[in-house]
Chains A and B, each alone.
Chain A
Amino acid sequence: MEIERKYIYSDIELDRKEGEIIEEVKASSQAVIPDPDEWLEEELKQNIILTTVDWFINWGRRSSLWPAICFPACCAFELIAANGPRFDLARFGMEILRASPRQADLMITAGTLTWKMAPNVRRIYNQMPEPKWVIAMGACAISGGIFASASYAVVPGYNRIIPVDVYVPGCPPRPEALIYGIQLLQKKIAKRRNIDVGKLIRR
């Protein structure tokens, strides 16, 4: 009676294979692996980056946008969702919502603005230090939304009160849309010129 073979290789075959791998490793490991931290000696070579001041300043500004709290209506909940762990606004360096406008450089206007509230929003904006940006979030912030046509109390768009950089449509916009709007704003900041080259040349 023939015994059924349980394995493809016999034990001795597996042992031979293992032996071959060991021989191969031994043959290729006769030299010492060089220290990966050798470059630490070359201080100058590794520590100089050539870039422009403009790029460097813009990189700093766009990578840590801190929003001021100005959430008069329901779009705020989408903003809160965008801040939460699922959409994780912290990836873009802006998870900190500043209660004081003096520590903020971005205003996300999440909600309907009434004329009665308008002076306070302008005041919050004026209290923010330069440079500052505004994202108009949702239909109400862009044009007054559903209240635009007949309302006696609603401001038809935040751009009547403060200058707006990026408009994010939706009622309300999904957190993805808000994040896309923020990325657009970051691209906009990246193109900013902080130094007037012409003025420097003329001096």
Chain B
Amino acid sequence: MTVALSGKEIANQIVEKFPDSIVASSEKEIVVKSGSLLDVAAFLKDTPGLDFNYLNYITAVDYYDHFEVVYMLSSLEHNHSLVLKTRCYDRENPVLPSLVRLWQGADFQEREIYDLMGIRFEGHPNMKRIFLWEGFQGHPLRKDFM
């Protein structure tokens, strides 16, 4: 079975390379600052021993005062996984860096999050709605929709 790696141990590795990039870490997850998300993700993908070469899914949660975007990463080589999170406090114009350059699978899922949550992903090659039609007002999975 896939081993879920401890977020704390990996957070220590990340802090060595990128100090001041971690917001919180626990056994289950790592929460990184949105500014250093791209660096941390590239580090997780390319570091030997970690090799997170597969992005299982991306999803987003609305916590009223901030959005949380969840990345589930796993390594097909070492058969281990990790949950990476980042937060976005701007409700009017939330922006996060896109991870399409690292994992192609992020393409449609980032478009889905933009469509339903309204979070823009900077650097995405085709940032537009995917489910709803062009011209739809609002982003329906936000808690304040309707």
B64 within 8 A of A: no
Cβ–Cβ < 8 Å partners of A115 in chain B? 133
> Chain A: interface secondary structure?
loop
Q: Are A152 and B133 within 8 A (Cβ)?
A: no
Cβ–Cβ < 8 Å partners of B146 in chain A? 150, 152
Tell me the chain B residues, 108-146 only, with Cβ under 8 Å from chain A. Answer: 131-133, 136, 140, 145-146
Tell me the chain A residues, 136-183 only, with Cβ under 8 Å from chain B. Answer: 150, 152-153
Q: Are A116 and B140 within 8 A (Cβ)?
A: no
> B25: shortest Cβ distance to chain A, in Å?
37
Q: Give the size of the chain B interface in residues (CB under 8 angstroms).
A: 7
Cβ–Cβ < 8 Å partners of B140 in chain A? 152-153
Please give me the residue from chain A that is nearest to B145 by CB atom: A152
Q: Bound complex: CA of A152 vs CA of B133, how far in Å?
A: 11
- Kindly state the interface size class of chain A when it binds its partner: under 10
> B143: shortest Cβ distance to chain A, in Å?
13
> A48: shortest Cβ distance to chain B, in Å?
60
Q: Bound complex: CA of A115 vs CA of B132, how far in Å?
A: 9
Q: Bound complex: CA of A150 vs CA of B131, how far in Å?
A: 17
Q: Bound complex: CA of A116 vs CA of B140, how far in Å?
A: 15
> B141: shortest Cβ distance to chain A, in Å?
10
> B116: shortest Cβ distance to chain A, in Å?
10
Please give me the residue from chain A that is nearest to B129 by CB atom: A116
Cβ–Cβ < 8 Å partners of A152 in chain B? 132, 136, 140, 145-146
Cβ–Cβ < 8 Å partners of A150 in chain B? 146
Please give me the residue from chain A that is nearest to B140 by CB atom: A152
Cβ–Cβ < 8 Å partners of B132 in chain A? 116, 152-153
A115, A150, A152: which has the most chain B beta carbons within 10 Å?
A152
> A162: shortest Cβ distance to chain B, in Å?
19
Q: Bound complex: CA of A75 vs CA of B133, how far in Å?
A: 25
Interface residues as binary, B1-33 with A (CB distance below 8 Å gives 1, 0 otherwise): 000000000000000000000000000000000
Cβ–Cβ < 8 Å partners of B133 in chain A? 115-116
Q: Bound complex: CA of A115 vs CA of B133, how far in Å?
A: 9
Interface residues as binary, A101-121 with B (CB distance below 8 Å gives 1, 0 otherwise): 000000000000001100000
Q: Bound complex: CA of A115 vs CA of B140, how far in Å?
A: 14
Q: Bound complex: CA of A150 vs CA of B133, how far in Å?
A: 18
> B118: shortest Cβ distance to chain A, in Å?
14
Cβ–Cβ < 8 Å partners of B136 in chain A? 152
Q: A152-B140, A153-B131, A153-B132 are in contact. List 8 more A-B contacts (CB 8 A).
A: A115-B133, A116-B131, A116-B132, A116-B133, A152-B132, A152-B136, A152-B145, A153-B140
- The chain B residues found within 8 Å of chain A, CB to CB, are 131-133, 136, 140, 145-146
**13 A–B contacts, CB within 8 A, in A order:** A115-B133, A116-B131, A116-B132, A116-B133, A150-B146, A152-B132, A152-B136, A152-B140, A152-B145, A152-B146, A153-B131, A153-B132, A153-B140
- The chain A residues found within 8 Å of chain B, CB to CB, are 115-116, 150, 152-153
Shortest beta-carbon contacts, A-B, top 7:
A152-B140, A116-B133, A153-B132, A116-B132, A115-B133, A153-B131, A153-B140
